[in-house]
Amino acid sequence: MLCSVDSFIFESGGVDLANIKRNIKYGFENFKLINAHDEWQATDKYSQVITLSGMLIKKSNYALDDLEQIAQKKKPVTLSFDDGRASSVLILEINTDQSLFLKNGAFLKQDFEISLGVVYGSI
C-alpha cells in the first residue's frame, strides 16, 4: 500500500499512483500604499491541498468508481500513508482523462488527478 483514502487503496500494481503534490497556502493580503512599499497583512492561518495523480493502463474502466462514491458523501475521510502518517481530508475534485478507446467504447488508458483539502483538528 502506498496510501489510502478512506477504504480506497492506492498501491503499486493496483491503482498506479505516480505523483503526490502538496500545496500549502499561508493567508496574506497585499495592500498598496501611496509612495511606500507594499504592505502585507496576515489574514488567516494556512490551508493545505494534497494532489494525488497517476495513470491506469489496461485496468478496469470502473477502477475509480469506489473513490467517486466516497467523494459524493462530502464528508471528511482519512488519508493514510504506509509510513503511519495520516490526515483528515475532504475530496475536493476528481479529474479523469480517458484515451485509447476500443471499438466497444471501453478505454485502455485513464489519467487521474484527485485534489484533497486537509481538514485541521479532525484526527
Domain total for the chain?
1
Residue 61: inside a domain: yes
The predicted structure's pLDDT at residue 27: 85
Q: What is the pLDDT of residue 35?
A: 81
Residue 32 lies in a domain: no
Contacts within 8 Å (CB) and 24+ apart, 11-17: 15/54, 15/56, 15/59, 15/63, 15/64, 16/54, 16/55, 16/56, 16/57, 16/59, 17/52, 17/53, 17/54
Tell me the CATH number at 71: 2.40.30
State the chain's maximal CA–CA distance in angstroms.
67
What is the domain extent for residue 80?
3-27+37-119
pLDDT in tens, 51-89: 999 888 877 788 888 899 999 999 999 999 888 888 899
Report the C-alpha dihedral over residues 114, 72, 77, 1, rounded to 10 degrees: -50
pLDDT for 60 equals 77
pLDDT value at residue 83: 86
| pLDDT given for residue 122 in this prediction | 52
- Over the stretch 83-122, which tens digit does the pLDDT of each residue have? 888 889 999 999 988 888 888 888 888 889 999 999 986 5
Please give the average per-residue pLDDT across 32-40, as a whole number.
Answer: 83
